[in-house]
Amino acid sequence: MILPRASGVVLHISSLPGRFGIGDLGAGARQFTDFLAAAAQGYWQVLPLGPSCEIFGNSPYMSYSAFAGNPLFIDLADLVDQGLLSPGPLREAPDFSEYQVDYQAVTAYREPLLAQAALEFRANPSAEYDSFCDGTKWLGDYCLFMALRERYQELPWYRWPVEVARREPATLARMREELAQSVDYHRFLQFQFARQWASLRDYARERGVKLIGDLPIYVSHDSADVWAHPEYFCLQPETMLPTHVAGVPPDYFSATGQRWGNPLYLWRDRDGQVNQSLYSWWGERLGRLLELVNLCRIDHFRGFDSFWEIEASEETAQNGRWVAGPGLDFFEAMRQLLGDLPIIAEDLGIITPGVTELRHRVGLPGMRVLQFAFDFDEKNAYLPHNFTSTNTVVYTGTHDNNTTLGWFMGEELNEPVRDLVRRYLRSDGREINRDLIRLALSSVAGLAIFPLQDVLGFGADCRMNTPGTSEGNWRWRCAARFLTDEAAAWLQEDTIFYNRTGSFNREA
């Protein structure tokens, strides 16, 4: 894949401005798209779009489905416009915070309204809805899974009655009949998400803005994906619990590593043959995301070369081992299924020559994060003078980093390193967020991306996620008043100055 010389901004849907407690696919998303267009930005990168789990702190990287959209992102005002809701409940919405998502309060407010809209819709479903249900392969398993979670008081699927957990055909047929209304409700939610997302994508395309999605390499154990296809994962046959789980060894973010807890894939069968059914599922998964976005960032790309295997009984990620992944064969299979692969490889962390070789052979751009560049080593690969290819995506920071202002001013850096940063940037540090963005824009990397917090100069209190912690993450929101003409103007000026408008105002 050849990247155009362009730039863009990271902002998750949940962080968008809006009246109803969480960002959604409505007016706030269009306001942000207009801001990007005014700032001459060609890309908007979002985090994974799936329905999040409260037990995992509503992380978008631990979802109930690798295919479904998050119902909390459905625009309620659009349901009013469709005649499915009266405007009264929207006028009487609670006084939600503009700056933080209270997931419990948001869910309590939104779910009854979504249920009411579904009831209204059920009386007069459309041909478009019927076509969506008939043509969406993953929908049946996902909707039944969610209905069953409600039946069994939100217990994880491996604690359901054994005949349901093991998907005995006669039992599933009976459950589909008994839970038909609940299943239909979840179909309605996914239909609304799909049509609203398509409308937003069209709106962005008309304004020259392309969308970048994010695909976690692993899926949650308690998900429709693992329940529907346990044969793709390392599970104990008796308990359906993982034998081994995913994570990474000790690194920059954590001294004990990160034990993510996702079940690992069975890339090969007992005879050592490629699991072709798993490959087909992956083709469907990638294909689904590429229907929604123009580019896809695969999180933890190195897991395709080798992955960190942790025994499920281990409490941390320290005592794991590297195991060979599916490698080039996987990507050749994906090309046969999907054609060109517009993918960004997240190749951060402990990267071996094998990982780099795999990325080069597949022809995917890798990532460079400027916050990782300043360690007194002039050969650091993240320093822009060491970038060797335009087929690179440079970030000031990611969703897992502190904001640039929080990073520069906080305890992550000591004063000698701060001096080094100022020297490299030829900066006095007073506008460190803009200076680091300019460094990204000026680099040879084909694509430069920065979190909205860095564009706006926000501090550590606006950080999206702190790896290795379970409280207070994924909640940050941007109030509408911060998306100012002044912020768009300086970013536009610098984007033009560094010749990064090559993809702007072209058809996606």
473: nearest Cα among 56, 104, 64, 68: 56
What's the rounded Cα separation, in Å, for the pair 45 and 36? Answer: 11
Show the tokens assigned to 302: 């190195």
pLDDT tens profile 328-362: 999 999 999 999 999 999 999 878 999 999 999 99
pTM flag (> 0.85): yes
pLDDT at 503 (0 to 100): 54
The CA distances from residue 211 to 38, 182, 190, 398, 436, in Å, are 16, 32, 20, 16, 23
pLDDT at 75 (0 to 100): 98
Known active-site residue 299: yes
Q: Which residues of the chain have pLDDT under 50?
A: 504-508
Known active-site residue 225: no
pLDDT at 309 (0 to 100): 97
Give residue for tokens 């520069």: 408
pLDDT tens profile 354-412: 999 999 999 999 999 999 999 878 999 999 999 999 999 999 999 999 999 999 999 98
Annotated catalytic residue within 75, 214, 222, 299: 299
pLDDT at 54 (0 to 100): 83
Annotated catalytic residue within 225, 346, 347, 494: 346
pLDDT at 507 (0 to 100): 43
pLDDT at 124 (0 to 100): 87
Decide if 303 contacts 246 (C-beta within 8 A).
yes
Neighbours of 391 (CB within 10 A): 18
Annotated catalytic residue within 400, 435, 454, 494: 400
Known active-site residue 128: no
pLDDT at 442 (0 to 100): 98
3 state SS for 16-77: CCCCCCCCCCCHHHHHHHHHHHHCCCCEEECCCCCCECHHHCCCCCCECCCCCCCHHHCCHH
All domains of the chain in start order, with CATH: 6-228+366-497 (3.20.20.80)
pLDDT at 253 (0 to 100): 65
